Amino acid sequence: MAAAAPPPPPAPAPEPNTDLPEGQPLGHPLFARIRLGTKSDVPHIHKLIHQMAVYERLTHLFSATEQSLSSTLFDSPPFQSFTIFILEISPTTPFSPFHNPTFSLFRPLLKTLNLSQPVIDPDDAAFTTAEDGSVVAGYVLFFRNYSSFMGKPGFYIEDLFVRECYRRRGFGKMLLAAVAEQAVRLGYGRVEWCVLDWNVNAIKFYEIMGAEVLQEWRLCRLTGDALQAYGSNTFNNL
């Protein structure tokens, strides 16, 4: 399949809106930005993937290293292969709508929340960025797939993760919406992902947002020794 052309460069962005929603009392503002991930984010991405493995009770499958992520995730332009959106948080400083390393490819999405209580982040030091001192709170990893029935490409979400102290504040929905918005912009046909069957809260959340949970489909996977054994057989030996 021919690669889709990258989206056109965005129009110049206005200055960030630092005002809190009108009519709400001043509480604890929390500024959020979703931007494209880059190789410089790999240390934080690696930590996030490990935290996700712990949450999903799948640490026995976790073998990724910073080196393996760095050498495989960013070898093609965003939206044509693997793409990562990073969720950044700042409790004190509004974000600029510009992110110089990636602005020509994707205009960051900004949002301001007004919370009744401040967020206590016990791991903020481990997830603080060197660029502007913001804190990485989550990410979504996705890539292109294709629907032969629709005759259109789409996006498959491999990972969607928000760190525990930032959950139940709408950030997961924001990350999903960012992927869906990009799919619509490119004229793609669908966005899909998998969910663990015990994660009832996530399933309910996806259904509420309008996603169809396909009970009749089963995920099939060849990996590890099984992949090596099957892949080492020549066609004539099958």
Q: Which amino acids are annotated catalytic?
A: 206
Task: Return left, alpha or beta for 171; rule: phi > 0 is left, psi -120 to 50 is alpha, else beta.
Answer: alpha
- The rounded distance, in Å, linking the Cα atoms of 55 and 42 is 20
DSSP state of 230: H
Q: Which two tokens stand for residue 149?
A: 């029935």
Ramachandran assignment for 187, one of left (phi > 0), alpha (psi -120 to 50 degrees), beta (any other): left
Q: How far is CA 45 from CA 126, 170, 216, in A?
A: 11, 20, 33
User: Torsions phi, psi of 54, nearest 5?
Assistant: -65, -45
User: What are the phi and psi torsion angles at 180 (to 5°)?
Assistant: -60, -40
Cα separation, 196 vs 53, whole angstroms: 12
If one counts every other C-beta atom within 10 angstroms of the C-beta of residue 195, the result is 14
Q: Which of 106, 116, 117 is nearest to 140 (CA)?
A: 106
Tell me which amino acid residue 22 is: E
